[in-house]
Amino acid sequence: MPLYGTLDITQSPARLPTLPNLDTEAWALPKAEMMQLLVEVPRSSTGGLLPKAMHPALPSYVILAVTKYSDSPVGPFNLAVLRLGSRAGAHPRGFLLGAVASTDAAALELRTRWGIPVEAGEVKYIRRHDRVMGTVKKDGKTILDCALVDPQPVAGSDVQYINWVTAANAPLDGTTQPMLIQVDPKYTFYKAERGKPQVNAFDPAAWNAPTIQLSDPIVGTCSTVDTDLPRIRFVMDPIKPVFQGTRRIREARADE
């Protein structure tokens, strides 16, 4: 049967974000500008990064995403994330390895509401005539400098963004415990483009992924979307296979 990850998050819960509850309200995030670059990585470079409950995507790939949220409950902010392509059971997921938000308020809320492993830093999203650029600095050091080059229009229906999984401590059944949390934003597209990924600088250690090596670029997309960060519906045991260890804690999105 498929391979599984090897990371046991229960062994180092102190390194994980801690949520006071699983009851965060949803955030509406209108007119967000998102750039996502997908790059293959050698399988050997992903060792120890994926929780035991999940399957690695084969070939292995990462998603570098830089998003400009011009409106949110904590005001405008930019967010850069590194996700690892994977499967939660039968479903494609991007497992959050690391993230940087451009404001302290955003970093705090994202961390404590959805378990995103985010710290505050400098995140820039810049549009030029022939490219969209994202740069991230932490403590004055550039840890990501990337771009989507030569964006060409595509239909929003051509673009698929897969859901996320975060690893965090959260209370469940009266005990705060490490778990995996599904984060499943929805997207309404106003505009979408596709282009070539270009990564000029990338410090994997700064993204909690010291072994990751970028290899073959796949594709980049940038889009203007209404999106959200929804209420948490599913949590997963971090050790058991997801198809055994998934628990629904809230019904469908229609009740929001």
Partner 1 sequence: MKFGLFYEISIPRPWTPEKERTVYNNCLEQVKLADQLGFEHVWAVEHHFLEEYSHCSAPELFLTACAVLTKNIKVGHGIVVCVPEFNHPIKIAEKTATLDILSGGRLHVGTGRSATWTELGGFRANPDTTKKSWDEFVRCLPKMWMQETFAYQGEFWSMPERTILPKPYQKPHPPMWVAVTSPGTEIDAADRGLGSLGLSFAGFDEQEKKIKEYRRRIQHCEPVGAFVNEQVATTNFLFCHEDEKTGVEMGKKLGNTFNYLATQLISTREVFSSPSYQSLGLLPALRRAATGPDASEQQTEGMAYGDPARIIRAIKKWESLGVDCVNFILNANEVVPQDQVMASLRLFAKEVMPHFTRKPETAAAAAE
- Contacting positions for partner 1 (CB under 8 A): 1-3, 38, 40, 55, 57-59, 61, 85, 87, 89-92, 154-155, 157-160, 162, 192, 194, 216, 218-219, 221, 243
**Least distance to partner 1 from the beta carbon of 38, Å?**
5
Residue 101 vs 222, nearer CB to partner 1? 222
What values do phi and psi take at 176, rounded to 5? Answer: -85, 125
**Least distance to partner 1 from the beta carbon of 254, Å?**
17
**Least distance to partner 1 from the beta carbon of 24, Å?**
25
* Cα 48 from Cα 36, distance rounded (Å): 24
Residue 113 vs 131, nearer CB to partner 1? 131
Residue 87 vs 111, nearer CB to partner 1? 87
Residue 52 vs 91, nearer CB to partner 1? 91
Residue 56 vs 115, nearer CB to partner 1? 56
**Least distance to partner 1 from the beta carbon of 92, Å?**
5
- Kindly state the tokens that stand for 91: 């479903």
**Least distance to partner 1 from the beta carbon of 247, Å?**
13
* Cα 43 from Cα 62, distance rounded (Å): 11
DSSP 39-105: EE--GGGGTTTSBTTSEEPSS-EEEEEEEEES--TT-SEEEEEEEEEEEETTEEEEEEEEEEESSHH
Q: Are strands 234-236 and 187-202 parallel, antiparallel or unpaired?
A: unpaired
Residue 108 vs 218, nearer CB to partner 1? 218
CB 99 within 8 A of CB 112: no
**Least distance to partner 1 from the beta carbon of 194, Å?**
5
- Kindly state the tokens that stand for 17: 């974000």
Place of tokens 């938000």: 101
Q: Residue 126: which of 75, 80, 74 has the closest Cα?
A: 80
